[in-house]
Each structure stands twice: as structure tokens, then as C-alpha cells.
Amino acid sequence: LSGETANGANPAVAVATMAAIAANAEVGCDGDMTYKNVWNNTPKPVTALEAVASSAVKACLDMGACAMVVFAQTMLPAALLSKYKPPVPIVVVTSNHRVAAQCNVVSSLVPMYLPEMGTSDETLPMVLNTIRKLGIAALETGDLESDQVVIMESIGTNPMIGIDWEDRTPIFKVKVVGDELASLIKPTGYEGDHTISFCSTKIGLENIVTTGDTVRKTKIVCTMGPKCWDEESMGKLIDAGMGVARFNFSHGDHEGHGEVLHRLRTVIKKKGSNTAVLLDTKGPEIRTAMLKDHQP
């Protein structure tokens, strides 16, 4: 979003509308076809880290998991999971502020910042509670919904996958909190009662008439302007779904942008948000309107 938030009459409404459109569009994405398309177009061989990430996403698709979790001190493990477009949110558990903010730029990633990190078993209950609070899944037995969570981490007492991941083997595992989807739905092949799609999207009547309840994975970038420079408007943008605040340095000066950035960081801190900041710097400009003899 650019002029809609910078100078529009209703910036927060514009963000909320975009968030709703993105969430509705995601319902029609075919995870299996998308995965195959990405994998088939990925140069081989891949690194061990990417092999584990792609396998984790494939497992998520095959078992119908409700969420994915990755313990990461850098963006690489989370970005590799996002690359294969799982149909569920990816909770990124990190103690790195920068990683938490950068998650708002990459599809499907949901940051969970923890200043102190324990073992995987110690941290996992907090992660599962976060999944519940965000509305990703209830994780309750008997609700006839999938309660499987695919987790990617490092072997050892510290589950974090960091820069030195080559020295600490990355793995993925599955945590079944309530019901396993395979025990709720009889595994079958194609029975002729649905349409097989050969595209990366699959829209049917059921998608149209059924209210979607999935967590949005698409990220929204909003250009900051006079209409949203005050703290109240900034708070409304964050509440409406803004993931990245863009500062356009082609207009204004560094001092003015600095004041707005300070106010934004104050609002982010008050809300406990991980909203990211994008500085769109002004590059060289070549004016071509008035050329001698109209020649370059």
C-alpha cells in the first residue's frame, strides 16, 4: 500500500481491506502443486539445511499439520521453510530482535520473540500457547481438527539453528497435541467427488460459500505519510495488519523521517509488536524532460 496509507482518507480501513483480500486469496492456494513447482525448479543438489526444510514442509502437507515451528537465530532456516509455501503459518521462535522484525517481510512467518531460550521441551509449551492465542489452532482433543505441529530445530540442549548450523545437525519432528488428522479422516485416493487442479490455485464452490478461518500468511507493507504520522494512526495500522512500515526518502528530509520513526518505535514498544521498518532511500535521478534537440 502506498498512497492509500500515506495520504488516503482511511489508512487503517485500507490495510484491513487488503488483509481480508489476502486471507481470502490464500484459501485457494493448492499446497501440493505449489510445493512440487518450487521443488522442481530448485537447482540440485541442495544443502542439508534446505533438504530438512523442504522435507518438513512435505511432511506438513502429507499429514495435514495445523502449524509449523522453527527455532532460528538467523533468517535462513525460516526463509527456507517459507520458500516451499506451506499452507499453514510458520512460528519463528527466536531471541534475535532483527530476526523477529524481518519475519514481517517474508510470507507465512509469524515471529515469537523470547529473550531467554531453554531446551526444546522447556520452550515448546509456550510455543503451543502462542499458536492457540493467535488462533492458528485450538490444539484440543475431540474438536475434529488436526493438532499436529511440525517442528524444525537443532539437535542438542539448544534447539536454535544459527549461523553455525553445519556443526549442529538440523532435524524436524512432529508434535501431536490432540488429534492426528489421519485418525479423524479416512485416508483415501481420488474418489471422483472433487476437481483435480493442475494449477497452483484451486477454487471451488466450497471455498466461496464457507467463511475462512485461517491465519493470513501474506505480509502488508504500508508507506508512511501525513495521514498516519501520529501515534494513534500508527497503532490502528498495526492493529489492522501492517507488517512493514515503509519510509519513502524521495520525499521529506532525514530529520522529519527520524521523528516519525521515533514515534513508530514508541507505538511498536507499547503494543509489543514486531513490526518491521523499511527505509526506501533516494537514489540518483536522471531527468529526461528537457534534452537538447530532444536527443539523449
Q: What is the pLDDT of residues 199-219, one digit of tens each?
A: 556 666 666 666 666 678 899
pLDDT tens digits for range 148-177: 999 999 987 888 888 776 667 899 999 998
Is this structure's pTM higher than 0.85? no
Q: Distance between CA 99 and CA 113 in Å, rounded? A: 9
Of 96, 31, 26, 93, the residue nearest 59 (C-alpha): 31
pLDDT digits (tens, 9 = 90+) for 65-97: 999 999 999 999 999 999 999 999 999 999 999
Checking if the pLDDT of 99 tops 80, the result is yes
